[in-house]
Structure formats: C-alpha cells, structure tokens
Amino acid sequence: MTRVPLTLACGDYDRVWPLADGRVRPEGIDLNLVRLEPEECFSRMLTNAEFDASEMSLSSYAIAHANGDDRFVGVPVFLSRSFRHSTLYVRKDSDITDARDLAGKRIGVPEYQLTAAVWARALLRHDFDVDTSGIVWCTGGLEQPGRVEPRTPQLPEWVRIERVEQPLSQALVDGSIDALMTARVPAEFRVGSRMRRLWPDYAAREAEYFTRTGIFPIMHMMVVRADVHRAHPWVVRSVYKAFSEAKRIAVEQAADRPALRYTIPFLLDALERQAEILGHDPWSYGYAANRETLDTFAGYLAEQGLVSEPPAMAELFAPSALADSRI
C-alpha cells in the first residue's frame, strides 16, 4: 500500500518528539514533520493553508469556522494547554495590586482574539469580578513592532481596540499602557528590573482554579486541510492515534529515567504534585474528555464579542474523530 505523504507543522514539544524521531509512525502516512513556532504555524495556515495539517489556535479556528471558513477539519489533539494566571504583568512601581484595579485601564495584548487572552479575560470577569467593558485593549508585537492579526475579527462597538506601534513590553515600561497580557514571558521581566506579575502566587491560584472548575485550559488543537480529508478520510484518525501514542510515550518517559531527562532539578516533585492535583491524564486528547472545557470556551468567545453566539464545538472536528473506537 502506498503511504500518503503528509506535511504537518507544529511546535517542538516533548509530546511530538516520538513522531519526529520515527518511534511513532502514523498508519498509512509518510509524515513530513515541520517544527515551527506556533504563531508561524497559525499565520501560514490561516493565510495560505500552506500545510496538509497544522497545529492551530483554538480561538482562531473556532472564529473562522463560525464565520463560514470550511478549509479545515479539526482533530481533537490539544498540543498546548496552559493556565493563564501567570500572563498578567504590571510595572514594578505600579499601584495596581489587585485584579479589580484593571477596570478601565489600558492593557496590552498581542492580538485580541488570542486563545490565551480569551481565557485570561474570562478569569478577570468571572473569577475576580472585573468589569472588562471599559478596558482598552492595546494590540501589537510583544518584543517587536508590526505584529498584525492573520484575520481581523469583526468586533462589536463595545470592544475597545487600539493599535500600538511600539513593542508592548516597551509600552508597559514607558507607561503608555497600564498592564500587559501575554502568553510569552516578556524579555524585560526576565531581567527583573521594571516588571512584575500581577499575581506572583500564580501557581497556587492555578491549582485552586483547577480544583474548583476541573478545567485545564486548551490553547491549541490540530487541523487537517479539508481537501486532504476529502481525498483520504481516514487520515484524521491516523493522525489522532499517532499523536495520542506519542503523548503516551512522552508522559511515560518524563520520570522513567535513572537520570533526570529534563534540566529541571525538581522534576519528580513537579510530576508527583501534578498527578495529585490534576489526576493521571491532565493532557487528555479526544472530544468527549474535553467537551466541558470546549463548551466553556465557546461561551467566552461569544461573551467577548468574537462570535455572535457560542459555536457548537463538536462541529469543529471531523465526525470520525469525535469518538474513540473500542475493542
């Protein structure tokens, strides 16, 4: 049987390495794995559909699908998940000490529609009772000027967006914005001189959030081009099974070494604490296991003006990927 060539772009994660080094081979597929930064994957796929399959921003895909973009079908492989209590920064000398102090302020965010920003804004509104309607969202590049959204979302008038030409990190330091919301840690914060996190105890807050809600926020998923799916409907299941196996290997090997696999001195403690708080499989793939998280996110998209009504999240995925086969 001739194997179908498939070029797939995604980030360089440990849960992808078994696919990259050939330990896992997708059934019937000759895989060309292109490892790129996630932002580049999203931009190139959304703009030109350059790859047969790609890692994709959950928010970008859900918004595009809600607006009639049918170029892709989803695969419930959630390559990136992250709590977002760590994403808010202020100046060290700022008088902003509590989430409610952000009401009416100017907050920098690389793109309004970023998945991380959707989750972080929902935290402000639902967990900290912040009136987000008066916030001005200042968009632009985090470290470099000129960043633009692959597709400008159609937003209601009550969403206040302002373009910032200088890097957002510099805008915070200069005082032209009051806070910064970013998934990437700003270079200025690493220096440690002029920025601080709004919540230095973010890890404890994230553990409490999961214990209370059961949600480990999904950031990215996988998509396959619709024309590839039409030509080879089985590809979606093959990709899903291969990524699931690669993740299983990565999780199993993280701690199963006589010497630490990663340059994290307290790795074993972190893994044991993770299991205690998040359970045995916090990085679950599949639609059914993540339905509540996906539906919650759909509500946030509508609430923040990114879609007119909460999208039916099951419709994002290829029907063959909605349920696992059982033996």
Which range, of 68-82, 204-218, 245-259, 284-298, averages the lowest pLDDT? Answer: 245-259
Residues of the chain with CATH 3.40.190.10: 4-81+218-321, 88-213
Tokens of 97: 């000490």
Whether 191 shows a pLDDT value over 90: the answer reads no
- Per-residue pLDDT band at 218 (split at 50, 70, 90): very high
Six token digits for residue 46: 């959304």
Indicate the pLDDT class of residue 319, thresholds 50, 70 and 90. very high
175 DSSP assignment: T
Tokens of 186: 């700003």
What stretches of the chain show up as alpha helix (H) in DSSP? 17-20, 38-48, 58-66, 115-122, 168-174, 187-191, 202-213, 226-231, 235-255, 267-278, 291-303
- Using a cut of 0.85, tell me whether the model's pTM lies above it: yes
Which of 82, 116, 304, 310 shows the shortest CA–CA distance to 210? 82
Which fold, 4-81+218-321?
D-Maltodextrin-Binding Protein; domain 2 (3.40.190)
pLDDT of residue 325: 59
Q: Residues 207-215: what's their mean pLDDT? A: 97
Stated length of the chain: 327
Report the chain's mean pLDDT, rounded to a whole number: 94
In terms of phi and psi (left: phi > 0; alpha: psi -120 to 50; beta: otherwise), the region of 184 is beta
Residue 165 has a CB neighbour count (10 Å cut-off) of: 9
Q: How confident is the model at residue 259 (pLDDT cuts 50, 70, 90)?
A: confident
User: Does 1 have pLDDT greater than 70?
Assistant: no
Split at pLDDT 50, 70, 90, the class of 238 is: very high
Domain over 88-213 is classified CATH 3.30.450.20: no
pLDDT at 152: 66
What is each CA distance from 227 to 43, 100, 221, 297, in whole angstroms?
Answer: 19, 47, 19, 27
- Is the confidence at residue 239, as pLDDT, over 60? yes
Q: Tell me the β-bridge partners of 89.
A: 180, 197
Residue 222 to residue 238: CA distance in whole angstroms: 13
- How far, in Å, CA of 263 to CA of 255, rounded? 12
Query: What percent of the chain clears pLDDT 70, i.e. is strictly above it?
Result: 98
Q: How far apart are CA 180 and CA 106, in angstroms?
A: 9
Residue 262: the pLDDT is 86
Percent of the chain with pLDDT over 90: 85
The confidence score (pLDDT) of residue 326 equals 55
Tell me if 231 sits within 8 A of 225, measured CB to CB.
no
303 close to 155: Cβ distance less than 8 angstroms = no
